Amino acid sequence: AQKITQTQPGMFVQEKEAVTLDCTYDTSDQSYGLFWYKQPSSGEMIFLIYQGSYDEQNATEGRYSLNFQKARKSANLVISASQLGDSAMYFCAMREGGSGGYNKLIFGAGTRLAVHP
Amino acid sequence: EAQVTQNPRYLITVTGKKLTVTCSQNMNHEYMSWYRQDPGLGLRQIYYSMNVEVTDKGDVPEGYKVSRKEKRNFPLILESPSPNQTSLYFCASSPRTGVNQPQHFGDGTRLSIL
């Protein structure tokens, strides 16, 4: 079974509008961390935001926020006021707590976001 | 500037010719890891290291070797590269292991094995 599922291979959004990128995860651990990374066309992986499984508040970092719904096992990334520079591939990832799972990031397949002027 | 540095950024080589991709971090991180990225598969872990002289296999270790003789360096070695190792490779590091540790990535190395 997929540990991290990103169901949207591609998304379009108009500049200045908000967009939500979906991510669902599967784990039986109580302790885990969820991460979002951005990969522009230049290829580097840029860390955007982190949410811990015990965090009660949704994480926010500037224009990025994470809509964390623990019971539904979803960790959607919300980008507010989209900019042309937000066009990139976005990856959701998880670090699990048990059985050494914290030793790796498990990635989803990614969502390619295109921001239109 | 805090960073993870990989070299080379691009390499085209032939089957069977040993190669090493270097990775160095200047953040005194204990944890380092190698991933490969293939279309539609996201990133998959090859090897990781929790500290000097402590390394272990990830999900796709076949055909690769690593070493961690110094804290800052974690080279990836392909002893006899094959075309199925053509991929985009990332080195990453974090201060420690732990679920709350984001990994900081290098800029990637694009390998083509002919």
Angle at B110 between CA A21 and CA B74, to 5 degrees: 95
| Amino acid, res. A14 | Q
Cα-based torsion angle of the residue sequence A116, B107, A96, A24 in order, rounded to the nearest 10 degrees: 20
Predicted confidence (pLDDT) per residue in A2-29, tens digit: 699 999 999 999 999 999 999 999 998 8
B33 touches chain A (CB under 8 A): yes
Nearest C-alpha in B relative to A8: B40
Predicted confidence (pLDDT) per residue in B38-84, tens digit: 988 889 999 999 999 999 999 999 999 999 999 999 999 999 999 99
**Cβ neighbours of A97 in B, within 8 Å:** 99
Q: Which residues of A14-46 are buried (b: 16+ CB within 10 A; e: fewer)?
A: eeeeebebbbbbebeeebbbbbbbbbeeebebe
Among the partner-chain residues B43, B56, B99, the one whose CB lies closest to the CB of A32 is B99
- Output phi, psi for B112, to 5 deg: -120, 120
Residues within 8 A of B (CB atoms), A 41-100 only? 42-47, 50, 52-53, 91, 93, 95-97
Å between A14 CA and nearest CA of chain B: 25
Å between B40 CA and nearest CA of chain A: 5
Q: Report the Cα–Cα distance between both ends of chain A, in Å, rounded.
A: 38
Residue with tokens 């979906």: A22
Does A100 score more than 70 pLDDT?
no
Predicted confidence (pLDDT) per residue in B9-43, tens digit: 999 999 999 999 999 999 999 999 999 999 888 89
